[in-house]
Amino acid sequence: MGNRLPLFSLGIIVASFACPPLFGQNRPPAISEKAAPSSSTPDFSGVWMRSGPPASNKVLQSWIFAFNVEEPPMTAWGEEQYKAAKSSFGSHAYSIAETNDPVYHGCYPPGVPRVYLHPWPMQIVQARDEIVMLFEYDSLRRQISTDGRPHDTSLGPTWMGDSVGHWEGDTLVVDAINFNSRTWIDRLGHPHSEALHVVERFRRTDHDHLVDDITIEDPKAYTKPWTAHLELQLRPAWRLEEQFCEDGENFQKMENKETSPKK
């Protein structure tokens, strides 16, 4: 995991979002900034980064590590799994060596929707019948078919799930299923099962801003569906850089030098 950046302290993360060059200081300038698409189907192409965090400290911590301040409505099974999670974030954080976060033990992908909580940009590449999301984090990709085809579950459960999309006016609706149960919903350790169903509604509020309203449903882990809201900002001067998980053991050693146990 040699190319991963170390976990930031809360103050550094806040500063990084307040000062975007921390993430994009080596990114070349944009050639040009095109106008917003005028066709009936909006064009979401470009590099996007989550908008800056809120001012409230309580909301800020939730913004960085989870999707909501309030706890989602968990089942008994969900509560049991959540209590067993040893996250390196939040009010009861464990050191990197102690955590059982699947991202830091095994170099596993964070899955959807957790991938949005990691402070790296993503690029949307839009074609006629497909949208591809390229994440700088671990150089992950997510393919979303928009040609009307049904879900393909023939390969069995996957890390990033199977996603299909369709347009409702200017809103892209993405339906994702077929997840394995080896990821967390967020960085605090909220669980999910293979029954996880994620629906996202992407809408461009203006040329520079994109919102994603997320509905999370998993009857094994949660007593009812719950929602999250993300805001992203266009970064036309940025490009994605190479970033991979290479060696989890060395990553943990590096992290232990940068952070002290928080228990």
User: What is the 3-class SS of 98-112, one letter each residue?
Assistant: CCCCCCCCCCCCCCC
The whole-number pLDDT of residue 13 equals: 43
Structure letter (DSSP) for residue 237: T
DSSP H or E run through 141: strand 141-145
Q: What CATH number should be reported for the domain holding residue 161?
A: 2.40.128.20
How many distinct structural domains can be found in the chain?
Answer: 1
Look up residue 59 and give its two tokens.
């909301």
Cα 155 off chain centre by: 23
Q: Assess if residue 28 is contained within a domain.
A: no
Least Cα distance to 224 among 65, 71, 114 occurs for 71
Residue 162 three-state SS: strand
Give me the residue label for tokens 């913004």: 63
Q: Which two tokens stand for residue 232?
A: 């992203």
| Residue 263 domain flag | no
Per-residue pLDDT tens listing for the chain (263 residues): 444 444 334 443 443 443 343 344 344 443 334 333 335 789 999 999 999 877 777 777 778 899 998 999 999 999 999 999 999 988 789 998 899 999 988 889 999 999 999 999 999 999 999 999 999 999 999 999 999 999 999 989 999 999 999 999 999 999 999 999 999 999 999 999 999 999 999 999 999 999 999 999 999 999 999 999 999 999 999 999 998 887 545 444 444 443 433 33
* Cα–Cα distance measured from residue 108 to residue 110, given in angstroms and rounded to the nearest whole number: 6
Residue 176 lies in a domain: yes
Whether residue 216 lies inside any domain: the answer is: yes
Q: How far is Cα 218 from Cα 178, in angstroms, rounded to an integer?
A: 12
Q: What is the pLDDT of residue 158?
A: 97
How many angstroms separate the CA atoms of 75 and 79, rounded?
6
For the record, the structure tokens of 70 come out as 């309030």
> Using CA atoms, how far apart are residues 128 and 73, in angstroms rounded to an integer?
38
Domain assignment present for residue 80? The answer is: yes
pLDDT given for residue 249 in this prediction: 52
Alpha-carbon distance of 236 to 31, in angstroms, equals: 9
Classify residue 33: in a domain, yes or no. no
Say whether the peptide bond before residue 109 is cis (omega within 30 degrees of 0): no
- The answer as to whether 34 is a domain residue is no
CA angle 70, 102, 140 (to 5 degrees): 95
Containing domain of residue 147, as a range?
Answer: 10-19+42-258
The pTM of the full predicted model, rounded to 2 decimals, is 0.80
Q: Is position 201 within any domain?
A: yes
